[in-house]
Chains A and B, each alone.
Chain A
Amino acid sequence: MFNAINSTFLNRFLAYFNNKFIPTLARTLTNTSSFIAYLEPIIQLFKKDWKSNHLSAKVTCVRKESESIYTLVLKPSSNWKPFRAGQFVQLSAEKNGSLITRTFSISSEPSYFKASGKIELTIRSQENGIFTPWLRSNLHPESTVYLSQANGGFTLRQNTTRKLFIAAGSGITAIRPLLKEYKNEPWFKQSKLLFYVKNRSERLFAQDLNMLESYGLDYKYIYSEESGRICQQHLDNFCQDISKREVYLCGPTKMIETTNNLLKENLIPEANIHFEYFGATPINIQDSPLDIEEEEFIQVDYLNSNKQVSFKPEASPQTLLDMAEKEGLNPIAGCRIGICHQCICKKKQGRVYNTKTKQYSDSGSEEIQLCLSVPVGHVELEL
């Protein structure tokens, strides 16, 4: 009893010390958020790639998968924690001095990491993207990139139910580790994979799938250029016992939505459908007004205030600052013409049009000036 009280007291004291006292002391003595943030630029004088708040990773290989798809093989630093098959990481790299961050599924399996200390990210090079083509041509063995710890709930439920995997395009990156990691499980022999790709030249991981077939996987490529997108007929042809299966989906947002509805029509309980929306897909950044019309609806999520608005785009677009104020939120703002930088806000994802630079942003997370930004499509703000 005495010990118990004593240890809660100690824990509370330590929590206070670490979470309150030390940061306040750092703020007071160094005017930065932590002592390590204060020392970071000094350390960087000697180790230029070192960052206090990022885990680094060394590129060991950039492997070509197809014309537009490549795999980065990375060796994370020792404090990167093990992950579960199907999870994703945030990859950051410095492009011309600017730290750019994107989310990618880990396309390799945990046992591979255990054996080699390496992970793989398989990435589609977006034709007009500002990051993915750059990564491909600028990363070399020994380049440094930065990683978050692995995250995400698209992992396998350990049970004996038969499984159907449906992947579209680079969605296979999250499914490949699930297949490879669990290939020796008893249920694996009855598992099926339906894999949508554009055409024959886009058959990603053909070798791996071939190998997995010998472990019992039944798989089929569907070429969407010939056979179209997913439909009831495809399911009927490939999988008769679909209602008895647990389904794992990965692909673009539209594909997940369509497939999810289709599966529900086939009476698969919601609890047996697993998917995760693939967040940040870099989008092209051409300066054409057509871009806005592509998106049917504009939606803004104010994450910190739990509010959400969506509407049809109008002829005279509104800035995020005006919109937020109309919503009754009170973002700090000043000059409203882009000079004072008071209305800076973190955009978690989504694209915005900057009325000053006349450019579209990429879809990743970055700081934006609300008074200059017009949302395009779906935008998430930390506001």
Chain B
Amino acid sequence: MQKPDTRTLDQFAEELDQIRSDAMSEVGEKDARYIRRLIGIQRSSEIIGRIVMVLGFISPALWVIGVGLLALAKILDNMEIGHNVMHGQYDWMNDPNINSRNFEWDIAGDGGSWKRYHNHEHHTYTNVIGKDRDFGYGTLRLSDDLPWKPKNRFQFLHYLGLSALFEWGVAYHEVAAERIFMGKRREVSSLPISRKALKDAFFKKAGRQIFKDYIFFPLLCWPVALQVLTGNFIANIIRNLWTSTIIFCGHFTEDIHTFQPAEIENETQGEWYYRQILGSSNLEGKKLFHILTGHLSCQTEHHLYPDVPAPHYPDMSIKVQAVCHKYGIPYNTGSLSKQYITVVQRILKYSSPKSIKA
């Protein structure tokens, strides 16, 4: 596909800017009420889930319900609440707890670390090989931009492991990039805090999470400690699998494009928008599905407008699609199953050295 010229992309950018300002003019009380209510529901679900799980000694069904509620709470906390609040989507509320500076989520990864590499590296350099470490997370070969290595043969198993332990991937991401524990130190680092501070934050957050789910709550319910520990473990795994599946569908589907660092030098706003659209793919579904994905089902809109409150994305996506259609720019969307199959195909395809450049 031919990249449109700069002038066309300037007009394209203007139309996308308009969609943004239209949406922002609607942001207000309704969004504030929505996020507060959702957090209220999420925390109720966590508390009830933890209690019902303990009652599992009465009937295993209660244990299953408890684990389900806890997993639901963890998914909501991770996706629709944590991810979006930490993107600054609700900073305008001036709420001391619901803002990108103070919010911390219920996963192993430290929110501060995530904000640095995700909001900055991933969102600015989306799918730029060598700059966006989210592309393959430094372990998977997902395009021919990376040379094939023998270990890639088994990368599907690797993917399954990463998926199940996804929160640890999030936790370890920046620590790995900065070679805190092993490897050759990065030549160019934009780490705005000291290496020690990064290491401390990593251990502190990971330690707190382990203590909470695997020591404190099990011991608190001593006679049924094992049942609580297993339940917490499973809830975390369910959340990890869900989160990772949704995120993989956002950037590693069949028609996703990758970019070289040279391509993004002196990028205009229009070119940036264009790259974000080619590098993202959407998932179609009902309202509840969008909420459970944290509206990352509208990955394209999220990448175009990372700080617009996410519940506005579905409406915006209709307008964005129309604009893309007008300019002949491909817009990638489909059902979860359809998109996920292409993700699996991509992981398999690039695990062998024979693939031909798409």
Contact = CB atoms under 8 A, between A and B. Distances in A.
A316 B171 CA distance: 41
Nearest to A338: B307
A36 B9 CA distance: 49
Interface string B120-161: 100110000000000000000000000000000000000000
Given A44-B36, A367-B101, A28 B212 contact: yes
B91 A29 contact: no
A31 B105 contact: yes
Contacts of B120: 334-335, 339-340, 342
Nearest to B46: A30
A32 B212 contact: no
B41 A334 contact: no
Interface stretch (A92-100, A110-118, A230-238, A243-251): A92-100
A332 B192 contact: yes
Given A38-B43, A94-B29, A334 B97 contact: no
Contacts of A27: 104, 208
B119 A98 contact: no
A342 B101 CA distance: 8
A28 B97 contact: no
A337 B104 CA distance: 23
Interface string A75-113: 000000000000000000010111111000000000000
B307 A367 contact: no
A39 B102 contact: no
Kindly name the residue among B27, B41, B88, B216 whose own CB sees the greatest number of chain A CB atoms within 10 A. B88
A283 interface: no
B106 A342 contact: no
B354 interface: no
Interface residues of B, number: 47
A341 B116 contact: no
A330 B190 CA distance: 13
Given A97-B30, A339-B120, A367-B99, A42 B40 contact: yes
Interface residues of A, number: 36
A342 B91 contact: no
Contacts of A42: 40, 43-44, 47
Contacts of B105: 31
A100 B28 CA distance: 13
Kindly name the residue among B29, B37, B95, B102 whose own CB sees the greatest number of chain A CB atoms within 10 A. B95
B93 A41 contact: no
Contacts of B115: 334, 340-342
Nearest to A32: B97
Contacts of A45: 37, 40-41, 44
A100 B44 CA distance: 28
Contacts, number: 113
Nearest to A344: B101
B169 interface: no
Contact of B97 (A37, A96, A100): A37
Interface string A18-43: 00000000011101110001111110
B351 interface: no
B293 to A, nearest CB: 21
B221 to A, nearest CB: 14
Kindly name the residue among A29, A37, A100 whose own CB sees the greatest number of chain B CB atoms within 10 A. A29
A265 to B, nearest CB: 44
A148 to B, nearest CB: 13
Given A33-B97, A45-B37, A341-B115, A28 B44 contact: no
A243 to B, nearest CB: 47
Contacts of A158: none
Nearest to B95: A99
A99 B93 contact: yes
Given A342-B115, A367-B101, A98 B93 contact: yes
A181 interface: no
B307 A341 contact: yes
Contacts of B240: none
Contacts of A334: 115-116, 119-120, 190, 192
B33 interface: yes
Nearest to B96: A53
Interface in A337-359: 337-342, 344
A43 to B, nearest CB: 8
B123 A339 contact: yes
Nearest to B32: A97
B255 interface: no
Contact of A29 (B33, B39, B216, B307): B216
B119 to A, nearest CB: 4
Nearest to A366: B94
Nearest to B217: A29
A28 B205 CA distance: 8
A28 B210 CA distance: 10
Interface string A309-338: 000000000000000000000101111011
8 contacts: A27-B104, A27-B208, A44-B40, A96-B29, A334-B115, A335-B120, A341-B307, A342-B120
Given A33-B97, A41-B40, A98-B92, 6 more contacts: A37-B97, A53-B96, A97-B28, A339-B307, A340-B116, A344-B100
The 6 A-B residue pairs with the shortest CB-CB distance, nearest first, are A97-B32, A340-B119, A341-B88, A41-B40, A96-B28, A97-B29
